[in-house]
Structure 1
């Protein structure tokens, strides 16, 4: 649907930081009031949790500034103050001391980032190329791992997981571990897709951010590592902590020295020995899924999405919102 000319939005990117969440919330309300969308257009807001979503909804539904019903204080007309309910020109947003609610919370689409990003993938690449639910999403991965873990623990590479799951008659530890690992791989798909691509190809390595390494160089590095025995750094990696969290906590100096000895290319280091179960588990997940799903994990879909977005001839799909507001607390 073509938007009215008076509702056109200028392209741009605005980042506002603050140390008080209430001030940022008030600023968000003021911005939405000053720059409304078309009457039948939903406002898309991304939040980090359902609790923040509920808090924002209640804030938007709260009463506006005292005075008239539209939020314009008594004695202030629209011509002199700008959009209804905002402070006079020159007053910083959030500093007027007036009410900040909109009086109603309607036409809102408040989502978690992962859901929005997956919907963006489908809008750009098409529903046929991207399934409605991510085959390697956190929710599905949790239950797949619950099913798969018992059949993997006999392999020596999964010894850290086997030790963690000892004395687990009620399967509480298995479910806890499956949830943690699903979250770990979900984050890898977003932030370290290059690691997952290398692991899927059988290369147990970690690229440094921005490193561009040809596959031939990785193959040569693997051969060099194999000549000296098992790759990795004994005692340098972290397997699982007491809560089932996995991480890489290796000494950068030791890893650099190990990389040089193994002939690995620059910008790449071997996966620590205690964490070799992570690439092995990723390959097991790929082997467990349907063939069509292998190219539908978030990392692979993201690469195709970025390539499509880089095409200057491609117009914005109608299913993507014109504006996205992100409210986060770090």
Structure 2
């Protein structure tokens, strides 16, 4: 059975009891794990104990974070993707460390050039690259339209941080289809067109105790609910 089922309560203990009722219903195969999407390992431990308390046992449950769950869906529905993507945050950091020094004499990079002056051991370069990598990673999730504008060189010419757009274009050159914003868009298109084997998807997932999800995640779960049972547990 597919569909989006919303469970609400003002007490998380009541939601846990409702979740226990859901997982008590067996999946088609006893070897298939019960997928419960959570936002912290502390929540995983608490939910596991509550399921064991209510049902007598908690076994064969998988507790992915939202991003890990959707990345697994990416890999199943898009097998042509490389095993390691060049826009994972740690990888972006080291790629930026190679790109930034070559951009410092370009217009708009004056503040970065001043900051990196006297950086003999490249500690500042690493810290800056790590910070920018984290910023780009957040843009990919929360502001994908900004990323798309940058790739089309449609950013405001007089904005104070125009160097970010220029730096992103250097980072993404030749790899435009592999970053998260593009993959999200491609995933939604594939789900809507149903261009994959239905057996690749789980029959049921539950999303528990997550207070906020970016728009893309909500869109993806809404589309996936047409193909599987999705239970949202909301306070």
TM bucket by the smaller chain?
A: 0.7 to 0.9
Partner of 1:27: 18
C-alpha separation in 2, matches of 1:179 and 1:26: 42
Q: Does structure 2 conserve the Cα–Cα contact (< 8 Å) formed by 1:124 and 1:317?
A: no
Q: Please report how far the alpha carbon of residue 123 of structure 1 lies from its aligned counterpart in structure 2 after TM superposition.
A: 2.0
Corresponding residue for residue 72 of structure 2: 119
Contact persistence 1:153–1:162 (CA under 8 A): yes
Match of 1:281 among 167, 171, 181: 167
Q: Secondary structure at the match of 2:48?
A: helix
Distance 1:41 1:145 in 2: 41
Q: Deviations over 1:79-123 (max 9, x none)?
A: xxxxxxxxxxxxxxxxxxxxx3x3433222221222221221222
Q: Give the structure 2 partner of residue 43 of structure 1.
A: 34
Which runs of 5 or more residues in structure 2 are unaligned? 213-235
Q: 1:294 aligns with which of 153, 176, 195?
A: 176
Deviation for aligned residue 1:170 = 6.5
Deviations 1:120-143 (A, max 9, x none): 122223x12x22232212232133
SS at match of 2:167: helix
Contact kept in structure 2, 1:134 and 1:298, CA below 8 Å: no
C-alpha distance after superposition, 1:61-80 (max 9, x if no partner): x4x3xxxxxxxxxxxxxxxx
- For 2:7, which of 16, 28, 34 is the aligned residue? 16
Rounded Cα–Cα distance in structure 2 between residues aligned with 1:22 and 1:166: 55
More RCO (CA 8 Å, sep 6+) = 2
Which residue of 130, 139, 146 maps to 2:90? Answer: 139
Higher percent of residues as helix = 2
- Counterpart Cα distance in 2 of 1:318 and 1:164: 53
CA distance in structure 1 between the partners assigned to 2:180 and 2:168 by the alignment:
13
Paired with 2:132 and 2:192, the residues of 1 have a C-alpha distance of 32
Q: Aligned in 2, Cα 1:180/1:113: closer, same or farther, shift over 3 Å? A: farther
> Is the partner of 1:278 in helix, strand or coil?
helix
Query: 1:283 deviation in Å?
Result: 0.5
Contact 2:97 2:125 in 1 (8 A): yes
Cα RMSD (Å) of the superposition? 2.9
- Cα distance in 2 for residues equivalent to 1:59 and 1:179: 38
1:16 aligns to what SS in structure 2? strand
